[in-house]
Structure 1
Amino acid sequence: MTMDRYTLLGRSGLRVSPISLGTMTFGTEWGWGADEANAQRLFDMYADAGGNFIDTADLYTEGTSERWLGKFVAARGLRDRMVIATKYSYNAEAGNPNAGGNQRKNFMRALDGSLKRLGTDYIDLYYLHTWDRMTPVDEVMRAMDDAVRAGKIRYVGLSDTPAWFASRAQTLAQWRGFEPVAAMQLEYSLVERNAEHEFADLAAELGMGLIPWSPLAMGLLSGKYKPSQGDSASVGRLETVRAQSAGSAPPPGFGKLTEQNFRIVAELERVAHDAGRPMAQVALNWLYHKRGVSSIIVGATKPEQLEQSMHALDFTLDPELTARLDAVSQPSHPFPYYMFADGHQARIHGNVDVASKPREFDRPVHVPAPATGA
């Protein structure tokens, strides 16, 4: 298993497992998820396998995720070993505009709250959760740097922001001597590849490790949908789910249940069959080898789900199978990205093949686990 084959987070020196344990499922306050006993079991499985990178947020299950995670870590004396990542931005008090957002006031409120719930005096990686479209980026980066200097956080991360915002944040950090952004968390999977338009270059050029969330597209790529099985075919399954959801709030990921995405699922099923691996493992393996990716967040409510995910990097996917997945999931290229395709570039370079220089940072460097007994 590859949980104890660590990788560097972006251009930092922080060693993290290539699979990160997502804990949004820790708690049942949202009507789904794992109870405390099952959450404890999931945590123990991950830690026992050598995993050290755990993702949560102040928002998750109304704070239960952070509280349980802190409890589990403390009970086993694992604080120094674990790399704990959490996030801030979402509002904790309806009617109070400053109880949410990216601004310094909410930053300090949220950070202190997370530290208390986690039962720790520092957070390894602290993310801005989602851009609020208001707070200046320099206010965010100065607040982050102040918290690093105060010893409350170790590394800085951004999540769900535009690439220009992240780029400006990193540039400000470089110019002003702030702690740089080590990680960029974003949605990325076989059915959501828009990150490749900007964020792969962002990671390579500016040293931010990409941390995909929802790598199985809210379960769409997990293997529970198999188009080869009659009633689970694309149109039939979609119509069944729509009928079941009529008149109620749609389930998470409902917007991903499209015919185009089921075509991707159908090819994933065929590739997984040819590879002799479960669909979820193939989807995660394909994603991990994309440019700039440092670690992938996986969540689970059942031990068997986590067990399968933790083995997703134990094999090498044949290049021909990778190419098939690339082809079926190829995203559209709106302006200006179609201008960067080979045809336009050939006109720029006079039909001469011009190789670009190697990137200073592209794939993360793998760090072997210490030898037993060393």
Structure 2
Amino acid sequence: MKYIHLGRSGVKVSRLCLGTMNFGPETGEADSFAIMDRALERGINFYDTANVYGWKVGEGVTEQIVGRWFAQGGGRRDKVVLATKVFGRMGEWPNQSRLSALHIRRACEDSLRRLKTEYIDLYQMHHVDRETPWEEVWQAMEQLVREGKILYAGSSNFAGWHLAQAQELAKNRHFMGLVSEQSLYNLNERMIELEVIPACQAYGIGLIPWSPLARGLLAGALKPVTTGRRADEDVKKDIEKFRPKLEAYEALCQTLGERPADVALAWLLHQPSVTSPIIGPRTMDQLNGTMRVLDLSLSRETLKRLDEIFPGPGGQAPEAYAW
């Protein structure tokens, strides 16, 4: 396994991040435990979850599964850089969602209880809260850091200007601010190259791409399936929408002798600021198969061809649209 600093922080994380969103809804607890154990065996030390995963309001189903896995001991918690998130609705009352200091405090305490741990390594804001001032958000995060309940703060689904605003206000408070941003990023969805990635580079923020396979579009979507995400009607519509690109992409992968999913992940690992793409295996076979990507190097010619098939926004703003 290869390791990399999480943004400008001193902590090192694996080049692949184990996403746990399927644990509970798609993958049973025993299989989830086995996948997490296997990930550790393969050197993956970066695990990502969220208080809303499991999709039962207020229950934190996935966090509970991860917590019971930690409770087995064996050094599991000490080996893992644990990331979870706050923002989503955890109840029906007015202050049981978003990023008020009140909700951040209560949500953190609840996550700690479910995860059966004394601290969270990376506490991520799951979405920007336009209704809460940054002074309030940072005050709450600073207090959690002082109490040793979180070590680092991160964001998810932020625009570039949100990252800049957050970092400038954190700097004024003599606080480290964000060390990571978790964004939708893959070959087919490259909008963040305009401003989010430049902001990450400027502020030393690590980029953690989610949905690296575009809900299965980049995992060999043209092969008929009857189960999994590629069988969803929305995904089927996307397959037809992007069929010419997918045909060219899968033909290129066949020429390379590589699986489409591996090429998609390898492409992300070649991109600036990317720390660790999030892989979300539902099965042990999916986890084992993904490890191949760490040894897959794409040539300059292959990267150029991928840009031709899946053109991005044209680079960073404003040059991408102004010149």
Q: TM-score, normalised by structure 2?
A: 0.91
Distance 1:342 1:116, change over 3 A: closer
CA separation of 1:137 and 1:262: change in aligned 2, threshold 3 A: farther
**Which of 192, 212, 217 is equivalent to 2:214?**
217
What secondary structure sits across from 1:327 in the alignment? Answer: helix
> Which is bigger in relative contact order (C-alpha 8 A, separation at least 6)?
1
| Structure 2 residue aligned with 1:360 | none
State the alpha-carbon separation in 2 of the partners of residues 77 and 50 from structure 1.
Answer: 14
Corresponding residue of 1:207: 204
Q: CA deviation at 1:82?
A: 0.6
Is residue 41 of structure 1 aligned with residue 15 of structure 2? no
1:65 and 1:262 mapped to 2: Cα distance? Answer: 34
Query: 1:82 corresponds to which residue?
Result: 80
2:237 & 2:153 partners in 1: Cα distance?
Answer: 31
Q: 8 Å contact 1:137–1:165 — kept in the other structure?
A: no
Instruction: Look up the match of 1:364.
Output: none
Matching residue of 2:319: 340
Q: How many angstroms apart in 1 are the aligned matches of 2:52 and 2:293?
A: 28
Q: What CA deviation, in whole Å up to 9, does each residue of 1:173-231 have, x standing for no partner?
A: 112111321000010001110010111111111000000000001111122x12xx6x7
Name the count of aligned residue pairs. 316
Q: Distance in 1 between matches of 2:320 and 2:282?
A: 42
Q: Give aligned-pair identity as a percent.
A: 38
State the SS of the aligned residue for 1:60.
coil
Alpha-carbon distance between aligned partners in 2 of 1:148 and 1:255, rounded to the nearest angstrom: 45
Q: What CA distance in whole angstroms lies between the structure 2 residues aligned with 1:133 and 1:174?
A: 20
Aligned counterpart, 2:48: 55
> For structure 2, which runs of at least 5 residues remain unmatched after alignment?
none
Indicate yes or no: 2:264 matched with 1:279.
no
**Aligned partners of 2:254, 2:162: CA distance in 1, in Å?**
41
Structure index of larger Rg? 1
Instruction: Select which of 117, 121, 125 maps to 2:114.
Output: 117
Shift of 1:296: 0.7
1:300 aligned to 281, 305, 312, which one?
281
**What is the distance in 2 between the residues matched to 1:24 and 1:139?**
29
In structure 1, what is the Cα distance between the partners aligned to 2:245 and 2:187? Answer: 8
| TM-score (norm: length of structure 1) | 0.79
Matches within 5 A, 1:255-274: 256-259=238-241, 261-274=242-255
Among 155, 158, 172, the alignment partner of 1:161 is 158
In 2, Cα distance between the equivalents of 1:262 and 1:332? 20
Tell me, which stretches of 5 or more residues in structure 1 are unaligned?
345-374
Query: How far off is 1:127 after superposition?
Result: 0.3
How far has the Cα of 1:254 moved from its partner? 6.4
Provide the secondary structure at the position in 1 that maps to 2:208.
Answer: strand
Change (3 A) 1:128 1:264: same
Tell me the CA shift for residue 38 of structure 1: 1.3
* Cross-structure match for 1:321: 302
User: For structure 1, which segment, 196-205 or 117-126, has the greater mean C-alpha deviation from structure 2 after superposition?
Assistant: 196-205
Q: CA RMSD in A?
A: 2.4
Contact 1:16–1:83, Cα closer than 8 Å, also in 2 = yes
Structure 1 pair 254–202 and aligned structure 2 pair: CA distance change class (3 A): farther
SS at match of 1:212: strand
Structure 1 residue 7 and structure 2 residue 4: aligned?
yes
Q: 1:340 is matched by which residue type in structure 2?
A: E
- Once the two structures are superposed, residues 300-352 of structure 1 have per-residue CA deviations (whole angstroms, 9 ceiling, x without a partner) of 11111111222212121121111111122113469x94x514993xxxxxxxx
